[in-house]
Amino acid sequence: MLKTGKSDHSRYLTTMPFRIYRTATSVLIESHEAPDIFREAPKDFCFNSLFNSEEPAGCVASAYESGSKTNALDFSSLMAPIRDQEIWAAGVTYFRSRTARMEEAETAGGDIFYDKVYDADRPELFFKATAPRTRGHGDKVAIRSDSSWDVPEPELTLAINKHGKIFGHTIGNDMSSRSIEGENPLYLPQAKVYTGSCAIGPCLLIDDVPEPDTKIAIEITRGGDAVFSGETKLSQLKRSFEELAEFLFRSNDFANGAYLMTGTGIVPESDFSLKVNDVISITIEGIGILQNEVEIV
Protein backbone atom coordinates (compact mmCIF):
# COMPACT_ATOMS: atom_id res chain seq x y z
CA MET A 1 0.00 0.00 0.00
CA LEU A 2 1.04 3.61 -0.42
CA LYS A 3 3.73 4.89 1.92
CA THR A 4 4.71 8.52 1.64
CA GLY A 5 6.59 9.20 4.85
CA LYS A 6 5.48 12.85 4.65
CA SER A 7 1.88 12.91 5.77
CA ASP A 8 0.36 13.33 9.24
CA HIS A 9 -2.08 10.62 8.18
CA SER A 10 0.50 7.83 7.91
CA ARG A 11 -1.62 5.49 10.02
CA TYR A 12 -4.08 5.41 7.11
CA LEU A 13 -1.51 5.28 4.34
CA THR A 14 0.32 2.28 5.76
CA THR A 15 -2.74 0.25 6.71
CA MET A 16 -5.49 0.80 4.20
CA PRO A 17 -6.54 1.95 0.75
CA PHE A 18 -9.37 4.37 0.06
CA ARG A 19 -12.11 4.25 -2.56
CA ILE A 20 -13.41 7.53 -3.95
CA TYR A 21 -16.86 7.70 -5.53
CA ARG A 22 -18.32 10.65 -7.43
CA THR A 23 -22.02 11.47 -7.56
CA ALA A 24 -23.82 14.41 -9.13
CA THR A 25 -23.69 16.35 -5.87
CA SER A 26 -20.70 15.13 -3.88
CA VAL A 27 -17.53 13.08 -3.58
CA LEU A 28 -17.74 10.14 -1.17
CA ILE A 29 -14.78 8.33 0.38
CA GLU A 30 -14.73 4.80 1.77
CA SER A 31 -11.82 3.34 3.73
CA HIS A 32 -10.75 -0.28 3.81
CA GLU A 33 -10.86 -0.10 7.61
CA ALA A 34 -14.57 0.81 7.58
CA PRO A 35 -16.14 -0.68 4.42
CA ASP A 36 -19.65 0.41 3.46
CA ILE A 37 -19.34 3.50 5.67
CA PHE A 38 -18.98 6.59 3.50
CA ARG A 39 -17.83 10.10 4.32
CA GLU A 40 -18.67 13.09 2.17
CA ALA A 41 -15.48 14.93 1.31
CA PRO A 42 -15.22 18.66 2.12
CA LYS A 43 -16.34 21.00 -0.64
CA ASP A 44 -12.78 22.09 -1.39
CA PHE A 45 -11.83 18.49 -2.26
CA CYS A 46 -12.19 17.51 -5.91
CA PHE A 47 -10.45 15.32 -8.46
CA ASN A 48 -8.43 18.27 -9.76
CA SER A 49 -7.03 19.02 -6.29
CA LEU A 50 -6.31 15.32 -5.84
CA PHE A 51 -4.43 14.95 -9.12
CA ASN A 52 -2.57 18.22 -8.48
CA SER A 53 -1.36 17.15 -5.04
CA GLU A 54 2.24 16.05 -4.57
CA GLU A 55 0.96 13.53 -2.01
CA PRO A 56 -2.46 12.33 -3.26
CA ALA A 57 -2.79 9.62 -0.60
CA GLY A 58 -2.32 12.17 2.16
CA CYS A 59 -4.80 14.46 0.44
CA VAL A 60 -7.44 11.70 0.51
CA ALA A 61 -6.69 10.75 4.12
CA SER A 62 -7.14 14.37 5.18
CA ALA A 63 -10.43 14.65 3.27
CA TYR A 64 -11.65 11.41 4.83
CA GLU A 65 -10.86 12.50 8.39
CA SER A 66 -12.52 15.88 7.96
CA GLY A 67 -15.47 14.57 5.97
CA SER A 68 -18.95 14.02 7.33
CA LYS A 69 -20.64 10.63 7.55
CA THR A 70 -23.37 10.10 5.01
CA ASN A 71 -25.95 7.54 4.00
CA ALA A 72 -25.15 4.38 2.07
CA LEU A 73 -23.96 4.97 -1.47
CA ASP A 74 -26.53 4.66 -4.24
CA PHE A 75 -24.57 2.83 -6.95
CA SER A 76 -27.18 3.78 -9.56
CA SER A 77 -26.20 7.45 -9.20
CA LEU A 78 -22.46 7.15 -9.79
CA MET A 79 -20.55 9.30 -12.24
CA ALA A 80 -17.10 8.74 -13.69
CA PRO A 81 -14.38 9.58 -11.12
CA ILE A 82 -12.95 12.42 -13.18
CA ARG A 83 -13.03 16.20 -13.52
CA ASP A 84 -10.54 17.75 -15.97
CA GLN A 85 -8.17 14.82 -16.41
CA GLU A 86 -7.29 13.56 -19.87
CA ILE A 87 -7.60 9.84 -20.51
CA TRP A 88 -4.91 8.15 -22.58
CA ALA A 89 -4.47 4.50 -23.50
CA ALA A 90 -1.70 2.05 -24.24
CA GLY A 91 -2.06 -0.52 -27.00
CA VAL A 92 -0.55 -3.92 -27.80
CA THR A 93 0.70 -4.48 -24.25
CA TYR A 94 -0.62 -8.05 -24.04
CA PHE A 95 0.25 -10.84 -26.47
CA ARG A 96 -3.45 -11.50 -27.10
CA SER A 97 -3.94 -7.87 -28.12
CA ARG A 98 -0.97 -8.08 -30.47
CA THR A 99 -2.46 -11.14 -32.16
CA ALA A 100 -5.93 -9.59 -32.49
CA ARG A 101 -4.59 -6.32 -33.92
CA MET A 102 -2.53 -8.23 -36.48
CA GLU A 103 -5.57 -10.27 -37.53
CA GLU A 104 -7.83 -7.24 -38.02
CA ALA A 105 -5.18 -5.24 -39.92
CA GLU A 106 -3.86 -8.05 -42.14
CA THR A 107 -6.01 -7.19 -45.16
CA ALA A 108 -4.85 -3.57 -45.09
CA GLY A 109 -1.23 -4.64 -44.74
CA GLY A 110 -0.91 -3.03 -41.32
CA ASP A 111 -0.32 -6.19 -39.30
CA ILE A 112 3.45 -5.74 -39.30
CA PHE A 113 3.15 -2.49 -37.31
CA TYR A 114 1.43 -4.22 -34.40
CA ASP A 115 4.01 -6.99 -34.39
CA LYS A 116 6.82 -4.45 -34.27
CA VAL A 117 5.36 -2.25 -31.53
CA TYR A 118 4.86 -5.24 -29.23
CA ASP A 119 8.64 -5.78 -29.15
CA ALA A 120 9.72 -2.14 -29.54
CA ASP A 121 11.27 -0.08 -26.77
CA ARG A 122 8.63 2.63 -27.22
CA PRO A 123 5.01 1.61 -26.40
CA GLU A 124 1.95 2.58 -28.38
CA LEU A 125 0.18 5.43 -26.57
CA PHE A 126 -2.82 7.35 -27.85
CA PHE A 127 -5.27 9.94 -26.61
CA LYS A 128 -8.59 8.36 -25.63
CA ALA A 129 -11.08 10.78 -24.06
CA THR A 130 -11.87 14.04 -22.37
CA ALA A 131 -14.05 14.08 -19.28
CA PRO A 132 -17.28 14.99 -21.16
CA ARG A 133 -16.87 11.96 -23.44
CA THR A 134 -16.26 9.64 -20.50
CA ARG A 135 -19.00 7.51 -18.96
CA GLY A 136 -19.33 6.16 -15.42
CA HIS A 137 -20.75 3.00 -13.88
CA GLY A 138 -24.36 2.46 -14.95
CA ASP A 139 -24.15 4.91 -17.83
CA LYS A 140 -24.25 3.96 -21.52
CA VAL A 141 -21.18 3.42 -23.65
CA ALA A 142 -21.41 3.68 -27.42
CA ILE A 143 -20.63 1.96 -30.67
CA ARG A 144 -20.29 4.02 -33.83
CA SER A 145 -23.06 4.08 -36.40
CA ASP A 146 -20.48 3.74 -39.20
CA SER A 147 -18.78 0.68 -37.70
CA SER A 148 -19.62 -2.98 -38.31
CA TRP A 149 -17.33 -4.67 -35.79
CA ASP A 150 -17.18 -3.36 -32.22
CA VAL A 151 -15.74 -4.67 -28.97
CA PRO A 152 -15.10 -3.51 -25.41
CA GLU A 153 -11.57 -3.65 -24.02
CA PRO A 154 -11.35 -4.18 -20.24
CA GLU A 155 -8.26 -2.48 -18.83
CA LEU A 156 -6.66 -1.61 -15.54
CA THR A 157 -6.44 2.18 -15.62
CA LEU A 158 -3.77 4.11 -13.73
CA ALA A 159 -4.34 7.42 -11.94
CA ILE A 160 -1.25 9.60 -12.38
CA ASN A 161 -0.85 13.01 -10.73
CA LYS A 162 0.51 16.08 -12.53
CA HIS A 163 4.01 15.18 -11.33
CA GLY A 164 3.92 11.79 -13.06
CA LYS A 165 3.37 9.74 -9.89
CA ILE A 166 1.05 6.73 -10.01
CA PHE A 167 -1.14 6.91 -6.92
CA GLY A 168 -4.21 4.82 -7.69
CA HIS A 169 -6.18 2.91 -10.27
CA THR A 170 -9.65 2.14 -11.55
CA ILE A 171 -11.42 -0.03 -14.13
CA GLY A 172 -11.50 1.17 -17.72
CA ASN A 173 -13.48 0.17 -20.80
CA ASP A 174 -11.70 1.22 -24.00
CA MET A 175 -14.48 0.80 -26.57
CA SER A 176 -13.10 0.11 -30.02
CA SER A 177 -14.22 -0.19 -33.63
CA ARG A 178 -12.19 -3.08 -35.01
CA SER A 179 -13.63 -2.61 -38.49
CA ILE A 180 -12.41 0.99 -38.73
CA GLU A 181 -8.99 0.35 -37.21
CA GLY A 182 -8.57 -2.79 -39.30
CA GLU A 183 -9.32 -0.92 -42.51
CA ASN A 184 -6.27 1.26 -42.00
CA PRO A 185 -4.11 1.80 -38.87
CA LEU A 186 -4.19 5.54 -39.61
CA TYR A 187 -7.89 5.46 -38.73
CA LEU A 188 -7.04 4.65 -35.10
CA PRO A 189 -8.31 8.01 -33.74
CA GLN A 190 -11.71 7.45 -35.36
CA ALA A 191 -11.84 3.87 -34.09
CA LYS A 192 -11.01 4.93 -30.54
CA VAL A 193 -12.15 8.52 -29.94
CA TYR A 194 -15.85 9.38 -30.13
CA THR A 195 -18.69 10.22 -27.79
CA GLY A 196 -19.21 7.44 -25.25
CA SER A 197 -16.14 5.48 -26.32
CA CYS A 198 -14.74 5.34 -22.80
CA ALA A 199 -15.93 4.38 -19.34
CA ILE A 200 -14.12 4.35 -16.00
CA GLY A 201 -15.24 3.47 -12.47
CA PRO A 202 -17.06 2.59 -10.35
CA CYS A 203 -14.53 4.31 -8.07
CA LEU A 204 -10.94 5.47 -7.91
CA LEU A 205 -8.93 3.19 -5.63
CA ILE A 206 -6.08 4.93 -3.81
CA ASP A 207 -3.52 2.20 -3.25
CA ASP A 208 -0.38 0.68 -4.68
CA VAL A 209 -0.76 -0.90 -8.10
CA PRO A 210 -2.19 -4.42 -7.81
CA GLU A 211 -0.17 -7.61 -7.74
CA PRO A 212 0.59 -9.54 -10.97
CA ASP A 213 -1.86 -12.31 -10.08
CA THR A 214 -4.76 -9.82 -9.99
CA LYS A 215 -7.55 -11.00 -12.29
CA ILE A 216 -9.43 -8.93 -14.86
CA ALA A 217 -12.71 -10.46 -16.04
CA ILE A 218 -15.47 -9.44 -18.45
CA GLU A 219 -18.95 -10.72 -19.20
CA ILE A 220 -21.25 -9.45 -21.94
CA THR A 221 -24.94 -10.28 -21.75
CA ARG A 222 -27.61 -9.94 -24.44
CA GLY A 223 -31.22 -10.20 -23.41
CA GLY A 224 -30.08 -11.55 -20.05
CA ASP A 225 -27.95 -14.33 -21.55
CA ALA A 226 -24.15 -14.38 -21.51
CA VAL A 227 -22.76 -14.11 -25.05
CA PHE A 228 -19.09 -13.60 -24.16
CA SER A 229 -16.88 -13.93 -21.12
CA GLY A 230 -13.16 -13.96 -20.57
CA GLU A 231 -10.46 -13.26 -18.05
CA THR A 232 -6.75 -12.59 -17.80
CA LYS A 233 -4.20 -11.65 -15.16
CA LEU A 234 -1.97 -8.62 -14.91
CA SER A 235 1.02 -10.97 -15.08
CA GLN A 236 0.32 -11.21 -18.82
CA LEU A 237 1.07 -7.50 -19.26
CA LYS A 238 4.36 -7.10 -21.13
CA ARG A 239 5.30 -3.62 -19.91
CA SER A 240 5.51 -2.22 -16.40
CA PHE A 241 3.13 0.45 -15.17
CA GLU A 242 6.06 2.76 -14.42
CA GLU A 243 7.36 2.37 -17.98
CA LEU A 244 4.01 3.29 -19.49
CA ALA A 245 3.59 6.29 -17.20
CA GLU A 246 7.10 7.53 -17.92
CA PHE A 247 6.54 7.43 -21.67
CA LEU A 248 3.20 9.22 -21.30
CA PHE A 249 4.78 12.09 -19.36
CA ARG A 250 7.88 12.24 -21.53
CA SER A 251 7.97 15.68 -23.25
CA ASN A 252 4.35 16.22 -22.16
CA ASP A 253 2.57 18.19 -19.45
CA PHE A 254 -0.72 17.32 -17.76
CA ALA A 255 -1.97 20.32 -15.78
CA ASN A 256 -4.55 18.20 -13.96
CA GLY A 257 -2.92 14.80 -14.19
CA ALA A 258 -4.13 11.93 -16.34
CA TYR A 259 -5.64 8.48 -16.44
CA LEU A 260 -3.80 5.85 -18.45
CA MET A 261 -5.48 2.67 -19.66
CA THR A 262 -2.85 -0.07 -19.74
CA GLY A 263 -4.12 -2.26 -22.58
CA THR A 264 -6.25 -5.36 -22.80
CA GLY A 265 -5.52 -9.06 -22.68
CA ILE A 266 -9.10 -10.07 -23.48
CA VAL A 267 -10.29 -9.78 -27.07
CA PRO A 268 -13.38 -11.63 -28.38
CA GLU A 269 -13.00 -13.81 -31.46
CA SER A 270 -13.52 -12.21 -34.85
CA ASP A 271 -17.12 -13.47 -35.18
CA PHE A 272 -18.27 -11.41 -32.17
CA SER A 273 -19.49 -7.81 -32.27
CA LEU A 274 -21.38 -5.72 -29.74
CA LYS A 275 -25.02 -4.86 -30.30
CA VAL A 276 -27.26 -2.14 -28.92
CA ASN A 277 -28.58 -2.97 -25.41
CA ASP A 278 -25.76 -5.41 -24.66
CA VAL A 279 -24.58 -5.10 -21.05
CA ILE A 280 -20.83 -5.08 -20.40
CA SER A 281 -19.61 -6.00 -16.90
CA ILE A 282 -15.90 -5.66 -16.14
CA THR A 283 -14.48 -6.84 -12.82
CA ILE A 284 -11.04 -6.19 -11.38
CA GLU A 285 -10.23 -7.68 -8.00
CA GLY A 286 -10.00 -5.06 -5.30
CA ILE A 287 -11.86 -2.35 -7.24
CA GLY A 288 -15.30 -3.72 -8.05
CA ILE A 289 -17.48 -3.93 -11.15
CA LEU A 290 -17.87 -1.42 -13.96
CA GLN A 291 -21.13 -2.07 -15.80
CA ASN A 292 -22.45 -0.28 -18.87
CA GLU A 293 -25.19 -0.80 -21.44
CA VAL A 294 -24.43 -0.25 -25.14
CA GLU A 295 -26.03 2.40 -27.35
CA ILE A 296 -25.22 3.66 -30.84
CA VAL A 297 -24.04 7.14 -31.80
My answer on whether 291 and 255 are in the same domain is: yes
Determine the 3-state secondary structure of 192 from DSSP.
helix
Tell me the C-alpha distance between 281 and 32, whole Å: 23
The arithmetic mean of pLDDT across residues 141-154, rounded, is 98
Q: How far is CA 294 from the centre of its chain?
A: 17
Computed over every residue of the chain, the mean pLDDT equals 90
Task: Tally the domains of the chain.
Answer: 2
Lowest mean pLDDT among 99-113, 162-176, 178-192, 280-294: 99-113
Are both 111 and 193 inside the same structural domain?
Answer: yes
Instruction: Report pLDDT digits (tens) over 253-265.
Output: 999 999 999 999 9
Given a cut of 60, whether residue 192 has pLDDT beyond it is: yes
Within this chain, do residues 34 and 169 fall inside the same structural domain, yes or no? Answer: no
Helix (H) or strand (E) holding 185: none
- Do 178 and 275 have their domain in common? yes
pLDDT digits (tens, 9 = 90+) for 91-108: 989 865 556 554 655 555
Identify whether residues 96 and 60 lie together within a single domain: no
Q: Residue 42: which domain range?
A: 10-77
**What gap in Å lies between CA 1 and CA 207, rounded to an integer?**
5
pLDDT score recorded for residue 72? 83
Report, as an integer, the average pLDDT of 4-12.
36
Do 164 and 290 lie in a common domain? yes
What is the reported pLDDT for 97?
Answer: 57
Vertex 266, ends 261 and 267: CA angle to 5°?
105
Q: Is the pLDDT of residue 9 over 70?
A: no
pLDDT in tens, 59-72: 999 999 999 999 88
